[in-house]
Amino acid sequence: MAGLSGPATVRFWYFAPLMLSNRVLGWGLLTLALIPAGCQSPEEARDSADREVYPLVLERRASLGLDAPPLSINPDPDSLRARLLRGESGPQGALSLVQCLEIAAENNRDYAGRKERLYNSALDLTLERWRFGWREEFDGQASVLGTGDEATSASASGGFTLTKLFGSGANLVLDLGGNLARSLTFSEDWDPVSDVGFSITQPILRGFGSQIVREPLTQAERNLVYEVRAFERFRRTFAYDTASRYYNLLESYQRLANQEANFTSLQTLTLRNEKLAEAGRLSDIELGQARQNELSSRNQLVISRASLQSQLDDFKLFLGLPIEFTLVLDPAVLESLETGASGDVQEPLAVSYALANRLDHATILQQFEDRKRAVAIAADQLRTGLTVSGGAGLTSTPGKPLDLDLDNADWSATLAWDLPIDTLPERNSYRESLINLQAAARNCEQSSDSITADIRDELRVTLASREAFEIQRRAVELAERRIQSTRLKLDAGRSTTRDLLEAENDLLEARNNTTSALIDYTLNRYALWRDLEILRVDEQGIRGELELLAQAQPAVAEGKN
């Protein structure tokens, strides 16, 4: 407080309350009571933001035709990771792809970061909306002045301000204030004074118009739409990534099973050759060949098991689960994967549909419109600044706060101008906006060309991978028949151990290649559906909503004609 320092401050706090009248003390207590009433706790502020942000996100999702689960950035206390860390038991048995997708969305750190980014975008929009709404402010102060141990005067004041920014650029300010003052030495009465005022400022040239003034709000609205699209695109890409990791793990499981079958078969062959060698019916060379291949297979089996465990740890890290959690997958899932020719897509339809529906492409096209608006705003900054402002105010008679004399109101009217003489910063900003517009146009072209090239390539790769799977499946059938034939010939003495060992190796390779081809075909289809924007995730797993392409086909055909 002004006028108080050192020991006098301490003495004041002891003696001033005794010197103040009950009316002064009552005013101070009232002020102290009002201060907490206007405060908002951190928890209330957080909940208030959530109540405003989450509906905004849901509204933008619905406007884009996106059906997605409700957004929440708060960690789930009952997530699988949280339950495991509390020592509770996890899911029993092998995890399905759908379960892995749910766990990843629940615990993955990148996924949580993308949700927070979407939330912050909506939070930015609430700020811009607040800037263009009616903004209220209440402030006040109470003070006591004194000398030594004696308080000499007391005063209190408060004010209410209402502000509004209009689309034309006009800024309206309404003020209502009051003041109480009293000399504690010479007077026992308070002197209340009130004042009312308003002012308005309106730009005429530079800064005039809704397009210029509301640009921050417009851009915030569009940024939220962009972020909703980006988040949905991320969800689908994330589902593909999760499926890719999941199926690659299943492939490792299957490769391990194939290696175990190969090792068992070689063990049987070695045991047979040992008995024949003991009976003098087989040379040591053939016995050594069998043993050597058995040891090689055993070594590969050890390596495959270690590699599988490393992959499991990496997958648990991706899912956000504790590394010590025992994760089990079922390679039998591979048998249920679709391998038929259903869902073939024609190239013209696929390209046309992707260009019309890709969420990231739509954002790039609309960002070109953003750059156009930025050019207009930068051009506006080159204009002359011309502003008209006016205001009026009333102050009451001292001691009579309701006695406002309209005939003695204070008023003002101002015309201000700012000639654009030295506009080098504005000139550079305008030229930069034109360059950014050109770059945005190139981005549109590049996005269109990239999507076209990607879809064409993915169609070719998907078709090729399906044919590769069919070839490898026939190769397995051929290798199995060759094994049977070679064993019969070996028992009849018309074949050698080397022939059977080569057949075993060929069967192992064919089985591994078949599994790889099946995984490649599945993931290539998923990638095509993802980039066509028809990838969907439900309780059955991942699928392509191919009916959307069928619905779009007549429109594409009509466009060609």
Instruction: State yes or no: pLDDT of 362 exceeds 80.
Output: yes
pLDDT at 560 over 90: no
Q: Note the pTM of the prediction, 2 decimals.
A: 0.84
Kindly report the CATH number assigned to the domain that includes residue 521.
1.20.1600.10
pLDDT value at residue 555: 64
Q: What is the mean pLDDT of residues 509-525?
A: 95
The percentage of the chain sitting over the pLDDT mark of 90, rounded to a whole number, equals 60
Find the mean pLDDT for residues 408-423.
89
**Adjacency order of strands within the sheet including 385-395:** 135-147, 150-165, 171-183, 193-203, 385-395, 410-418
Asked, for residue 178, whether it belongs to a domain, the answer is yes
**Could you give the percent of the chain with pLDDT greater than 70?**
89
Interval 219-249: pLDDT, tens? 999 999 999 999 999 999 999 999 999 999 9
For the residues 458-475, what does the mean pLDDT come to?
95
Asked, for residue 143, whether it belongs to a domain, the answer is yes
pLDDT at 10 over 50: no
The residue type of 292 is Q
Position 178 scores a pLDDT of 79
Tell me: do 453 and 508 sit in the same domain: yes
For the cut 60, the answer to whether the pLDDT of residue 363 exceeds it is yes
Averaged over 38-42, what is the pLDDT?
77
120 and 81 in one domain?
yes
Q: Decide if pLDDT at 35 tops 70.
A: no
Q: What's 282's DSSP letter?
A: S
- What pLDDT is attached to residue 558? 60
Is residue 329 one of the residues assigned to a domain? no
Residue with more model confidence, 394 or 426: 426
Which of 261-270, 317-326, 339-348, 476-485 is least confident? 339-348
Together in a domain, 219 and 111: yes
* Same domain (yes/no): 24, 70: no
| 8 Å CB contact between 145 and 3 | yes
**pLDDT tens column, 379-403:** 999 999 999 999 988 887 776 767 7
pLDDT at 31: 52
Residues 307 and 395 in one domain: no
Looking at the structure of the chain, the number of domains it has is 3
Comparing 181-185, 417-421, 488-492, which segment has the lowest mean pLDDT? 181-185
Structural domain span for residue 117: 47-132+212-320
Opening angle at CA 237, ends 236 and 239, nearest 5: 65
Whole-number Å distance between alpha carbons of 553 and 346: 10
Report which of 497, 516, 518 is spatially closest to residue 508, judged by C-alpha positions: 516
Do 454 and 553 lie in one domain? The reply is: yes
Of 115, 130, 212, 221, which is closest to residue 169 (Cα–Cα)? Answer: 212
- Tell me: do 102 and 125 sit in the same domain: yes
Q: Which pLDDT score is estimated for 515? A: 95
Residue indicated by tokens 């779009």 = 552
Q: Is 281 helix (H, G, I), strand (E, B) or coil?
A: coil
CB 289 within 8 A of CB 498: yes
- pLDDT above 70 for 483: yes
Residue 511: pLDDT band by 50, 70, 90 thresholds? Answer: very high
CA distance linking residue 147 with residue 152, whole number of Å: 7
Higher per-residue confidence, 403 vs 376: 376
Question: Is 438 part of any domain?
Answer: no
CA distance 343 to 220: 40
Q: Tokens standing for 10? A: 């301490």
C-alpha distances (whole Å) from 342 to each of 281, 337, 516 are: 55, 12, 20
Measured at the CA of 71, the angle between CA 65 and CA 76, to 5 degrees, comes to: 150
* Residue that finishes a domain, picked among 320, 350, 366: 320
Q: What is the pLDDT of residue 537?
A: 85
Average pLDDT for 15-34: 44
| Cα–Cα distances in angstroms (integers) from residue 175 to residues 110, 159, 439, in the given order | 48, 7, 47
Among 18-27, 180-189, 445-454, 510-519, the least confident range: 18-27
Contact 361, 448 (CB under 8 A): yes
Does the pLDDT at position 331 exceed 60?
yes
Cβ–Cβ < 8 Å for 179, 153: no
Asked if 21 and 144 sit in the same domain, the reply is yes
- Same structural domain, 282 and 394: no
Give the model's confidence band at 37: pLDDT under 50 very low, under 70 low, under 90 confident, else very high: low
Looking at 267, 289, 320, which one is the last position of a domain?
320
pLDDT digits (tens, 9 = 90+) for 145-179: 888 778 888 888 888 999 999 999 999 999 988 78
Higher per-residue confidence, 150 vs 451: 451
Mean pLDDT (the chain) is: 87
* Domain contains 73: yes
Q: Looking at residues 187-214, what average pLDDT do you find? A: 87
> Bigger pLDDT: 38 or 524?
524
Average confidence (pLDDT) over 198-213 = 93
Residues 52, 108 within the same domain: yes
- Predicted local distance difference test score (pLDDT) of residue 17: 40
17 and 158 share a domain?
Answer: yes
| 491 pLDDT tier (thresholds 50, 70, 90) | confident
- The lowest-confidence range among 14-18, 122-126, 260-264, 355-359 is 14-18
pLDDT (0 to 100) of residue 4: 40
Note whether 128 and 152 are same-domain residues: no
Q: What is the structure's pLDDT at 404? A: 75
Please give the structure tokens belonging to residue 540: 């059955």
* Domain annotation covers residue 434: no
Give pLDDT, residue 559: 59
